[in-house]
Chain A
């Protein structure tokens, strides 16, 4: 079976002032199937956010290939990236993003309705008159409900009028409103109060139940979250994949020392 989205032999380095370049990913490969939830875990600076951002075309790799629905969409050639425009555009339009800080991921001057509707407008539906405002409201309301929010007066609220949990669920609604095939959630709970994390978990679980074909890539430090949501885990350490496999196997019987340390630290 072909993976929905895969990254092969990704190498990535960043310039460091006065010290040349620092390599953060060393020949890393990862993939996610339709309907699957892949969790990428590892310590700070392990390269997990960089890898997932490269997979969604948000960052360019020094070398390696990203394949979406069987077609290469970005390929590294001697440090230069050549985009396959059709496939790359499809990946852009068919993917959603959920960031760590919900307030930073919503335009502070935009009402919830406008923020959530933006992916639909960008996809050309509403902007070109293909979708009426009523339909737009309906789609936005549906996305909000799926994310666990009652549209009601929520549509006209600005981000400063939302709690952290509400803002993150609005961000999730924004990510799913255009029915993407893949969602990247980069540490979606690390900036959220512990008491409302369960609301975000429930929202993500509800979305997976409602859209069984949608792939979810979640970057997290929190093994509890990973255990709750993920089907498969990829463990990164210092830019190398140290272990990958089904959640039960990796967390239940970790093979690598680093994974064992992570599991032991989580159970403290």
Chain B
């Protein structure tokens, strides 16, 4: 059973690797994960090491991407920030996926009252912007990674439920689900065995987009002061500390901006590659 599962993962990776977009996404994501792991043990400079005599320094052997306004090494902070952003992206995917699936399950429920109430609630809540949710969460909890994950999960979970509902409804009302229910299957069985696998293409694309958008949200929310806490390395933190002097020292903004762009594009392309592979039946 375990070897079958591993075989499926390798088959999925091969199917993604065959596509240009999938290959790019896998390389970038592989590098991201590798850098995040390496940064746990090693960065070119200690994060708290600052050099007041070399602020806004140009790239050099000691500081390959230069230094920021406190003289801290930009590359070290970007490497450490990759950990925070990876955690935010992964947790957002897990939490928004769980919330989205819960809402989809309620929206395709055989209880008409429960289904229509959930649809109305989702339609009402989906209009609240992520920033506002983050601001509301910041009041009791303060700025933290948890607030970003919470805000993104609520916003993207609602969005996922809204987008996945039509395909879920088609599967839930299909003859094969009716056959299973008539044969004694529970609603949980029908949802997990028939409905969820049949909405997997929509889920996969939406969740990879959510992961990418959470990276952008982290940058935006941190810039607004409701993102990661002070002193916590993240790509958004690197951007927000240097963006005020973009006209004077543009390079320090370019590096985190470039990393964010590469990661978001990779996640979006990964979703597309997943979708194409599933359409072809490779997954």
Report B35 CB to chain A, min CB distance, Å.
36
Report B183 CB to chain A, min CB distance, Å.
4
Q: A109-B197, A109-B198, A158-B281 are in contact. Are A97 and B178 (CB under 8 A)?
A: yes
Q: A104-B175, A107-B198, A158-B281 are in contact. Are A89 and B184 (CB under 8 A)?
A: yes
- Binary interface profile of A, 65-97, with partner B (CB < 8 Å = 1, else 0)? 000000000000000000000000100110101
Measured in the bound complex, the distance between the Cα atoms of B178 and A119 in whole Å is: 12
- Binary interface profile of A, 104-141, with partner B (CB < 8 Å = 1, else 0)? 11111100000100110011000000000000000000
- Binary interface profile of B, 185-199, with partner A (CB < 8 Å = 1, else 0)? 100010000100110
Asked if B180 is at the interface of the complex by the 8 Å CB criterion, the answer is yes
Measured in the bound complex, the distance between the Cα atoms of B176 and A62 in whole Å is: 26
Asked if B116 is at the interface of the complex by the 8 Å CB criterion, the answer is no
Report B78 CB to chain A, min CB distance, Å.
41
Closest chain A residue to B281, Cβ basis: A158
Cross-chain contact B184 with A107 (CB below 8 angstroms): no
Asked if A234 is at the interface of the complex by the 8 Å CB criterion, the answer is no
Report B185 CB to chain A, min CB distance, Å.
5
Cross-chain contact A107 with B182 (CB below 8 angstroms): no
List residues 198-252 of chain B with CB under 8 A from any CB of chain A: 198
Q: How many residues of B contact A (CB 8 A)?
A: 15
Measured in the bound complex, the distance between the Cα atoms of B174 and A56 in whole Å is: 17
Cross-chain contact A93 with B183 (CB below 8 angstroms): yes
Closest chain A residue to B186, Cβ basis: A122
Measured in the bound complex, the distance between the Cα atoms of B185 and A178 in whole Å is: 14
Report B127 CB to chain A, min CB distance, Å.
27
Asked if B261 is at the interface of the complex by the 8 Å CB criterion, the answer is no
Cross-chain contact A105 with B179 (CB below 8 angstroms): yes
Cross-chain contact B182 with A97 (CB below 8 angstroms): yes
Cross-chain contact B175 with A93 (CB below 8 angstroms): no
Cross-chain contact B185 with A115 (CB below 8 angstroms): no
Closest chain A residue to B198, Cβ basis: A109
Report A215 CB to chain B, min CB distance, Å.
16
B281 contacts which chain A residues (CB < 8 A)? 158, 160
Cross-chain contact A105 with B176 (CB below 8 angstroms): yes
Given contacts A97-B175, A107-B197, 12 further A-B contacts (CB under 8 A): A57-B182, A58-B182, A92-B183, A97-B179, A97-B182, A105-B176, A106-B176, A107-B174, A107-B176, A109-B198, A119-B183, A123-B184
Which residues of A does B touch, CB under 8 Å? 56-58, 89, 92-93, 95, 97, 99, 101, 104-109, 115, 118-119, 122-123, 158, 160, 174, 178
Which residues of B does A touch, CB under 8 Å? 174-176, 178-180, 182-185, 189, 194, 197-198, 281
| Sampled A-B contacts (6; CB under 8 Å) | A99-B175, A104-B175, A105-B174, A109-B198, A123-B184, A174-B179
